[in-house]
């Protein structure tokens, strides 16, 4: 009886233990109550691999999740959140077909495999420059410890996507600040009017910046900017119709935003997993020329302790699932982190194994129609960054025992990560 199973389980996703180790916290749910009602979240929690995969493809589960969130907020907050809502409702990731099909089709044409692969030398250049800066600082101060997130994993994705969009480097810091404010709204589970106000103000400034940027880009036209993703978006047609300016701006902001925090977390969480498994670190360091192994190691990092904790969907009709009654309007948290440790799919799921055969089945980039558009870019950044970093500092080690995790229920990332070279 699912309800009995559910009653025996105490699960607080926001407790200190669950934030530190969500895998152990969710294991009883996965075993006994795979579709679990959480009063704390006011939502269903789905933890088995096959159920998560089915949910990602279920047309009764909608991605349109910003609109209901804002509709539920108290009236004064609704006014404050309006600019944010108006903007986010145009993001492909928060839409369903047919809008999603149109927006995604357009981004697909601009964000091509060729455009991503062409970035290889530029990514290597940016990685080497960041590593050089760290080495120079070590030389200057004699201090061989630094925060890998702040000095490396945080700036790298912003510089790369900025380059890809054709954003001048001098503006990247500003955009990154706005993007971080937006993350406080999009990626946290807690209601915080102060953060929401900042995110709302940030989006207004960011939209104005991108509107100007797009006008300049269009006016300048080819040839110096030809080939970047912004030009691709400007050129792309949606069955003969150009996107509205609002939609174009939203696509740019989404691309700028979506690859930041997540890629930072892949680099940092992945390096932590490696440094905490010396046999795996040694294996990888001995085989850095083996691109197949490096790629598999990145997949295992995404599976074992990747950036994606969960994704939210909203039921568009009543239905029964695994004995539970899901009502129209209910929210479901698809716990990809639990799916990534499901023993039905990943034998010995809690073992970090860079040679694991099924590593690529992980859910880090989602599944179905919203599968991450930027996955090839994130993978490329990681496959370039890890070998360059490990070659530069073969003796890299953690310099703090237990770096704290952020308390988001959607993504998994550390607040800082001191390492020693
Ligand atoms: C390790 C890094 C990354 C992770 C873990 C990640 C994760 C995800 C996930 C789980 C989704 C699915 C959302 C859903 O189903 O609702 C998604 C969608 C998306 N991601 Fe990523 N992402 C990463 C990097 C990037 C990068 C680098 C970009 C672009 C520069 C990007 C752009 C997008 C876009 C545009 C979507 C929306 C796709 C759609 O709705 O059709 N992501 N990402």
Any idea where the domains of the chain sit in the sequence? 2-420
Ligand 1 centroid distance, CA of 409 (Å): 16
State the virtual CA torsion across 119, 124, 126, 131 in degrees, nearest 10.
160
Ligand 1, atom 21: nearest CA belongs to which residue? 372
pLDDT of residue 239: 54
DSSP 271-310: HHHHHT-HHHHHHHHHTTT-HHHHHHHHHHHHHHH-SB--
The set of protein residues with a Cβ atom below 6 angstroms from ligand 1 is 63, 92-93, 104, 161, 254-255, 258-259, 262-263, 266, 306-308, 311, 364-366, 370, 372-374, 377-378
In the chain, what is the straight-line distance between the N-terminal and C-terminal CA atoms, in Å?
Answer: 54
Ligand 1 centroid distance, CA of 418 (Å): 27
The CATH code of the domain at 2-420 is 1.10.630.10
Ligand 1, atom 29: nearest CA belongs to which residue? 374
CB hemisphere CA count around 352 (13 angstroms)? 22
Measure the CA–CA gap between 358 and 96, rounded to whole angstroms: 30
Q: Is it the case that residue 396 has pLDDT exceeding 70?
A: yes
Ligand 1, atom 43: nearest CA belongs to which residue? 372
Ligand 1 centroid distance, CA of 322 (Å): 29
Measure the CA–CA gap between 79 and 67, rounded to whole angstroms: 13
Ligand 1 centroid distance, CA of 99 (Å): 17
Closest CA to 197 of 295, 278, 82, 88: 82
Ligand 1 centroid distance, CA of 365 (Å): 6
Model confidence pLDDT, tens digit, residues 246-294? 888 999 999 989 988 999 999 999 999 999 999 999 999 999 999 999 9
pLDDT of residue 95: 96
* Mean pLDDT of the residues in the chain: 92
Ligand 1, atom 41: nearest CA belongs to which residue? 370
Ligand 1 centroid distance, CA of 413 (Å): 16
Other C-beta atoms lying within 10 Å of the C-beta of residue 322: 14
Q: Is it the case that residue 223 has pLDDT exceeding 50?
A: no
Q: At residue 248, what are phi and psi to the nearest 5 degrees?
A: -60, -45
Measure the CA–CA gap between 409 and 309, rounded to whole angstroms: 6
Ligand 1 centroid distance, CA of 329 (Å): 24
Q: Is it the case that residue 224 has pLDDT exceeding 50?
A: no
Q: Is 190 left (phi over 0), alpha (psi -120 to 50) or beta?
A: beta
Secondary structure (3-state) at 421: coil
Q: Is it the case that residue 201 has pLDDT exceeding 90?
A: no
Q: Which atom of ligand 1 is nearest to the CA of 307?
A: 5
Which residues have a Cβ under 8 Å from the Cβ of 214 and sit 6 or more positions away? 230, 234, 245, 248, 249, 252
Q: Which atom of ligand 1 is nearest to the CA of 368?
A: 15
Catalogue the long-range contacts made by 196-204 (C-beta closer than 8 Å, 24 or more residues apart).
196/77, 196/80, 196/81, 196/84, 197/80, 199/84, 200/80, 200/81, 200/82, 200/83, 200/84, 202/177, 202/178, 203/83, 203/84, 203/87, 203/178, 203/253, 204/83
Measure the CA–CA gap between 301 and 273, rounded to whole angstroms: 7
Using a pLDDT cut of 90, give the percent of the chain over it: 72
Could you tell me the pLDDT band of residue 316, with boundaries at 50, 70 and 90? very high
Ligand 1 centroid distance, CA of 363 (Å): 11
Ligand 1 centroid distance, CA of 308 (Å): 10
Ligand 1, atom 2: nearest CA belongs to which residue? 263
The DSSP call for residue 166 is T
Q: Which atom of ligand 1 is nearest to the CA of 63?
A: 16
Which is it for strands 397-398 and 35-38: parallel, antiparallel or unpaired?
A: unpaired
Ligand 1, atom 18: nearest CA belongs to which residue? 372
> Which of 99, 254, 307, 372 is the best mutation target for the ligand 1 pocket, counting ligand atoms within 8 Å of the beta carbon and taking the most?
372
Alpha helices of 39-96 — where are they, by DSSP H?
A: 49-56, 66-72, 75-88
pLDDT of residue 240: 61
Yes or no: say if 202 and 176 are a contact pair by the CB < 8 Å rule.
no
Is omega for the bond preceding 365 within 30 degrees of 0, making it cis?
no
The answer to which of 106-115, 137-146, 158-167, 181-190 has the lowest mean pLDDT is 181-190
Beta bridge partners, 398, equal 419
Exposure letters 181-202 (e unless 16+ CB within 10 A, then b): bbbbbbbbbeeeeeebbbbbeb
Sign of CA dihedral 287, 289, 293, 296: positive
Yes or no: say if 395 and 421 are a contact pair by the CB < 8 Å rule.
yes
Q: Which atom of ligand 1 is nearest to the CA of 256?
A: 30
Higher pLDDT, 34 or 80: 34
Ligand 1, atom 42: nearest CA belongs to which residue? 374
Model confidence pLDDT, tens digit, residues 126-148? 999 999 999 999 999 999 999 99
Ligand 1 centroid distance, CA of 88 (Å): 15
Ligand 1 centroid distance, CA of 296 (Å): 19
């Amino acid at each position: 009886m699912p309800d009995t199973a559910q009653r025996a389980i105490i699960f607080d996703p926001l407790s200190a233990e669950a934030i530190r180790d969500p895998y152990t916290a969710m294991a009883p749910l996965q075993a006994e109550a795979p579709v679990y009602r959480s009063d704390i979240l006011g939502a269903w929690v789905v933890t088995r691999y096959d159920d998560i995969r089915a949910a990602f493809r279920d047309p009764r589960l909608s991605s349109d999740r910003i609109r209901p969130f804002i509709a539920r907020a108290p009236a004064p907050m609704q006014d404050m959140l309006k600019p944010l809502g108006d903007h986010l409702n145009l993001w492909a990731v928060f839409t369903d077909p047919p809008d999603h099909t149109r927006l995604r089709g357009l981004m697909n044409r601009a964000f091509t495999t060729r455009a991503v692969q062409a970035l290889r030398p530029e990514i290597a250049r940016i990685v080497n420059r960041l590593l050089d800066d760290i080495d120079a600082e070590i030389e200057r101060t004699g201090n061989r410890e630094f925060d890998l997130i702040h000095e490396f994993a945080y700036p790298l994705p912003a510089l790369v996507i900025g380059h890809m969009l054709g954003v001048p480097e001098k503006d990247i810091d500003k955009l990154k600040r706005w993007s971080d404010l937006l993350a406080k709204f999009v990626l946290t589970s807690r209601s915080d009017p102060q953060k929401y106000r900042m995110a709302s103000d940030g989006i207004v400034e960011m939209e104005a910046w991108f509107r100007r940027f797009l006008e300049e880009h269009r006016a300048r036209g080819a040839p110096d900017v030809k080939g970047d993703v912004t030009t691709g978006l400007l050129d792309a047609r949606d069955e003969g119709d150009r996107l509205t300016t609002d939609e174009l701006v939203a696509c740019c902001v989404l691309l700028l935003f979506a690859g930041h925090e997540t890629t930072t977390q892949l680099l940092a969480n992945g390096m932590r997993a490696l440094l905490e498994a010396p046999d795996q670190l040694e294996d990888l360091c001995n085989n850095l020329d083996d691109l197949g192994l490096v790629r598999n190691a990145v997949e295992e990092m995404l599976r074992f302790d990747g950036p994606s904790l969960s994704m939210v969907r909203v039921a568009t009709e009543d239905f029964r699932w695994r004995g539970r009654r899901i009502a129209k309007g209910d929210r479901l948290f698809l716990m990809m982190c639990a799916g990534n440790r499901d023993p039905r799919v990943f034998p010995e799921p809690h073992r970090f194994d860079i040679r694991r055969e099924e590593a690529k089945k992980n859910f880090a980039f989602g599944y179905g129609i919203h599968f991450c558009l930027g996955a090839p870019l994130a993978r490329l950044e990681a496959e370039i960054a890890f070998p360059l970093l490990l070659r530069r500092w073969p003796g890299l080690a953690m310099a703090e025992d237990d770096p704290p995790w952020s308390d988001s229920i959607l993504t998994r990332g550390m607040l800082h990560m001191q390492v020693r070279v």
